Structure 1
Amino acid sequence: MSDPILVGLSGSLRRDATNRKLLREAARLFGPCEYVEADLNLPLYDRDDEDADGIPASVQKLADQIDGADAVIISTPEYNKGPPGVLKNALDWVSRTEGKPWTDKPVAVMSAAAGRAGGERAQMILRAFMVPFRTRILQGPEVHLADSSNEFDEQGRLTSEQYEKTVRILMQKLRAEAGF
């Protein structure tokens, strides 16, 4: 059996975002896999553009990555008490593609934010965003990485044993949900 394909979606476009670091740590703790970090730098969804030009290639690539994944992890920052628009935009675009790439897909969500709640509200809203897609979203353990800019070392590894343990358990559950 080959290694599972794990796709990561970061709600932050920043190159050095703590949500990207959290995804990479989660992929490491997931164990042997082919990890693909998706690009959510997509055009804003506009039905007129879709009608005129169809699905952009970048959107179709994302939908194909999700469809081909054995499991997906999503990490969201919290902007103004909710997930960022870039993440919602990506979800909206993928919902417009042929097929249903999210259906029955094992998904783990997590969050990393500057505040003391670690993106808890954003994660709760993200979970609600995922309902129409009928994923197999894991219920826990929940990962809310607070004061996230101070939680990684120079190599991008989590510095807190507790956070690492929680992410490891979540990834073990995701791996099992994906059948590996």
Structure 2
Amino acid sequence: MKIVGIAGSLRAGSLNRALLRAARELAPEGMEIAIVDLAGVPLYNGDVEAAGDPEGVARLKQAIRAADGVLMATPEYNHGVPGVMKNAVDWLSRPPQGSALGGKPVAIMGASPGITGTARGQSQLRQAFEFTNSYCMPQPELLVFKAHEKFDAEGRLTDETTRQFLGRFLTAFAAWVERFR
């Protein structure tokens, strides 16, 4: 089972990138998670799209199309989904009739220093998947709150309870993806 993981942060030390690395480490047998960086994806612009997808966008779309599912690790900025993540979804939704996200099973998780994790950002991201006709896993949710206390200085997930829950989350996602294969 091939899964593409995307972090909605461009920071090298992003907690959500670290969460994706932990997911890759804890993935159930048979699941491979390839992490795709969004640094090469420019801001969506219809004029740019009309001239052809930029290289970073084309690579992202190709990776999503070749995957069995998509794992989104989103931060939450100002009570919402960050622009980097929303921008990626905007590019992936184009063209609407041939969206790379169309019919794809998706899971959303997120890590934040805040007490509510990334609940609001995840909620907004779920709404975008209605338009893309993606199958967003409804449960379980993974909201890693006080994440700065759960990763070490090298970005390794050290909190055992969170590691166990992430493992169960990924097992549920594997079952979710199987429903659509």
Q: Which residue of 2 aligns with 1:89?
A: 87
* TM-score of the pair, normalised by structure 2: 0.89
Name the aligned partner's letter for residue 132 of structure 1. F
Secondary structure of the structure 1 residue equivalent to 2:3: strand
Name the aligned partner's letter for residue 64 of structure 1. Q
* Structure 1 moving runs of 4+ over 4 Å: none
Cα-to-partner distance string for 1:6-33 (whole Å, 9 max, x where unaligned): 1101000111211011111122222243
Q: Give, in whole Å, the separation in 2 of the partners of 1:82 and 1:134.
A: 21
Name the aligned partner's letter for residue 6 of structure 1. I
Figure out how many residues of one structure are paired with residues of the other and give that number.
176
CA RMSD of aligned residues (A): 1.8
**Contact 1:143–1:167 (8 Å) recurs in 2:** yes
Q: Which residue of 2 aligns with 1:99?
A: 98
Q: Give, in whole Å, the separation in 1 of the partners of 2:56 and 2:174.
A: 27
Q: Give, in whole Å, the separation in 2 of the partners of 1:155 and 1:145.
A: 17
Cα-to-partner distance string for 1:97-142 (whole Å, 9 max, x where unaligned): 5723212222110111121111111111111111111222111211
Aligned-residue offset at 1:165: 2.1
Name the aligned partner's letter for residue 172 of structure 2. K
Secondary structure of the structure 1 residue equivalent to 2:162: helix
Give 1:25-36 correspondences, 5 Å limit.
25-32=22-29, 33-36=31-34
- 1:77 equivalenced with 2:81 (yes/no): no
Q: Which residue of 2 aligns with 1:56?
A: 54
Give 1:10-29 correspondences, 5 Å limit.
10-29=7-26
Name the aligned partner's letter for residue 170 of structure 2. M
Q: Give, in whole Å, the separation in 1 of the partners of 2:110 and 2:23.
A: 12
Task: Give unpaired runs (5+ residues) of structure 2.
Answer: none
Q: Give, in whole Å, the separation in 2 of the partners of 1:44 and 1:5.
A: 27
**Contact 1:25–1:157 (8 Å) recurs in 2:** yes
Secondary structure of the structure 2 residue equivalent to 1:73: strand
Which stretch has the larger CA shift, 141-150 or 98-107? Answer: 98-107
Secondary structure of the structure 2 residue equivalent to 1:178: helix
Q: Give, in whole Å, the separation in 2 of the partners of 1:69 and 1:49.
A: 25
Task: Give unpaired runs (5+ residues) of structure 1.
Answer: none
Cα-to-partner distance string for 1:57-114 (whole Å, 9 max, x where unaligned): 2101101111111121101111111011011111111112572321222211011112
Give 1:124-135 correspondences, 5 Å limit.
124-135=123-134
